[in-house]
Amino acid sequence: MTNQELLAEFQELGVLQSGHFKLTSGLHSEQYMQCAKLFEYPRKAAEVVKTLIPKLPEGIDTVIAPAIGGVTVGYELARLLGCRFIFAERQDGNMTFRRGFKLRPGEKVLAVEDVVTTGGSVREVVDLAKECGADVLGIATIVDRSQGTAVFGVPFYSLVSVEITAYKPEKCPLCREGVALQTPGSRKTSRG
C-alpha cells in the first residue's frame, strides 16, 4: 500500500478525522489520527499491520508497547510475528511493567506505538527495556506525526508519515470561526 492508499483507507475507517481537536499537548488541530478506530475491524487491522513487517529487523523475541495506544497494534504485530507481547502502563506517573511482565537481559525487543508525535511514551518504554538489559532493536509505529522531530537513538520504522498542522489555542483559526472543540484520545487532560 502506498502512503496515499493508506491515508485513503484511514479516512474511510475513521482513523484520519477532520474537525476541531484539542490535542494532548494543548494545541489545536483540524485533523486527528485515532488509530483505535482501525482496530474496530480486525481483518483490516491485520492487513495494515502486516504491511509494516517487511520494514522491521529480524530476530524479534518480544514486542513491547506503552498502554494504551500501543497495546492493540503491539498485540497484533506480535501475533503476526509469532512472538511474545507485553505492555507497560503508568503507575504514579511513570511507565512501568506490571502484571508480572518482565524482560530478560539480552532479549531482543521491538517497541511499538500506534501514533508517534513526540515519542515520549514509547521512549519511556525503551528506557524500561534497557534498564532490564534487553536489546532494543528499534521502534515501530503505524503513523509518524513527528515530522522528523522524534529521535530515539535506535532505528525508527513507520508505516505512514503524516503532517498535521497544530495551532496554539490563541492563534487557532477554528476557534476564531467558532467551530466546536473536541478532546479525543486517551488522556483528557492537557499539558501546555
pLDDT per residue as tens digits for the range 12-65: 888 988 899 987 767 898 988 888 889 998 999 999 999 999 999 999 999 999
Residue 183 domain-assigned? Answer: no
Q: What is the CATH number of the domain that holds 41?
A: 3.40.50.2020
| Mean pLDDT, all residues of the chain | 88
Residue 191 domain-assigned? Answer: no
Residue 188 domain-assigned? Answer: no
pLDDT at 70 over 80: yes
Residue 28 domain-assigned? Answer: yes
pLDDT per residue as tens digits for the range 99-129: 989 999 999 999 999 988 777 888 999 999 9
Q: Which of 57, 15, 59, 58 is nearest to 39 (CA)?
A: 15
pLDDT of residue 51: 92
The count of C-alpha atoms lying within 13 angstroms of the C-alpha of 42, restricted to the half-sphere facing its C-beta, is 4
pLDDT at 190 over 50: no
pLDDT band at 185 (very low <50, low <70, confident <90, very high): low
* Cell triple for 107: 532479549
Residues of the chain above pLDDT 70, percent? 95
What is the domain count for the chain?
1
CB 157 within 8 Å of CB 54? no
Mean pLDDT over 147-163 rounds to 87
**Residue 64, φ and ψ in degrees, nearest 5:** -120, 150
* Cell triple for 52: 509494516
pLDDT of residue 97: 87
Supply the range of the domain harboring residue 79. Answer: 3-177
Partners of residue 158 on adjacent β-strands: 141
Q: Which of 106, 134, 138, 98 is nearest to 119 (CA)?
A: 138
| Strands 28-33, 166-167: pairing kind | antiparallel
